[in-house]
Amino acid sequence: MIEQRQIGEYRLRAAFDEGGRGLPLVLCNGWGSNLEVFDPLVEALADRPVLRFDVPGIGGSERPALPLRLPALASLVEALLRSYGIERADVFGYSWGGTLAQELARRNPDRVRRLVLAATSTGHLMVPAPPRILPAFADSRWLTNWRRPRRFFEREFACRVGPRLFGGERLRRNPMAILPVLRKLERPSTRAMAWQVAGAFGWTSLHWLHRLNQPTLILAGDDDRVINPINPMLLAWRIPDARLRWVRGGHLFPVLDAVERTAEHMRTFLDEKDKVVPFGGRKWRATG
């Protein structure tokens, strides 16, 4: 059920599907995306409890007067979890939400059991998108629409640039395949989009990823035009207990191209049993 919750000084829009088994799964969405965009993934993961939310300024959540940095956003999510009585959870972060998920895991080594990162990077210090994304910006309306960014979400424009911007065989075959995502999307305001970018500006996880103790699954699209393939490999290299899985699809694979495949990978990973292995007086968690 979707509801408004007062978390600190902000009203956040959230939905907690309590059905299913196991620990709750917290979903952190991409830039400018409201919680309904995750509908297909939530349906594919109907066998477990799922919490999703709109970050401040996006969807139905209250917009802050000034940008909130990622640590402050992570604190809000922590308070949201407490408001639902969730003491421990698995966390999934998609695209921009992947940076928020990493910050949550860093701040909450005992509260976050397992981490899933999809189509994301290490933040500001990331490898730029590959050159194959450049043709997507050949459309002159990138310049004519810049004063009204909501036009970027209009049907005609999204269908024209979507295949070249996001990649994925499904969009290349049928550019109108992006429409289900657009119908779920509540177009954010210019300020909300800018605030979300500003909140993550300068943030990077590159220097502390090696301290994450959560088992981590990294999912990457094999035709992602937004995230350079070096970025998921870098995440897998820096996080001690991480594994990388490639999924057929573009940047939208968790919500469009390969929802079922994404859910399958996640279900297999999240259902693994944790083992505590003593080593030199410390307890290291391994997966089997």
pLDDT in tens, 259-269: 999 999 999 99
The pairing of beta strand 242-247 with beta strand 25-28:
unpaired
Task: Over range 88-92, report the average pLDDT.
Answer: 98
Q: From CA 239, how far away is CA 160, in angstroms rounded?
A: 37
pLDDT band, very low/low/confident/very high, at 287 (cuts 50, 70, 90): very low
What's the one-letter identity of residue 46? Answer: A
Structure token pair of residue 173 = 């075959």
Question: Among all chains, which residue has been given the structure tokens 């693994």?
Answer: 272
Strand partners, 69: none
**So what's the pLDDT on residue 201?**
94
Instruction: Report DSSP state, residue 111.
Output: T
Task: Over range 56-79, report the average pLDDT.
Answer: 96
pLDDT at 284 over 60: no
pLDDT at 178 over 60: yes
Task: Using the CB atoms, write b or e for 47-66: b if 16+ within 10 Å.
Answer: ebbbbbbbbbbbbbbeebee
* Active-site annotation, residues: 95
User: Sign (positive/negative) of CA torsion 150, 77, 48, 4?
Assistant: negative
pLDDT band, very low/low/confident/very high, at 190 (cuts 50, 70, 90): confident
pLDDT band, very low/low/confident/very high, at 276 (cuts 50, 70, 90): low
Helix ranges restricted to H, the chain: 39-44, 70-83, 96-107, 141-144, 155-166, 169-173, 179-184, 190-200, 230-238, 259-270
Average pLDDT of the chain to the nearest whole number: 93
Strand partners, 257: none
Q: From CA 37, how far away is CA 17, in angstroms rounded?
A: 15
pLDDT band, very low/low/confident/very high, at 279 (cuts 50, 70, 90): very low
Task: Over range 69-75, report the average pLDDT.
Answer: 97
Task: Over range 53-81, report the average pLDDT.
Answer: 96
pLDDT at 282 over 60: no
E-strand stretches of 205-280:
216-221, 242-247, 274-279
Cβ atoms of 274 and 213 within 8 Å: the answer is: no
Task: Over range 244-259, report the average pLDDT.
Answer: 96
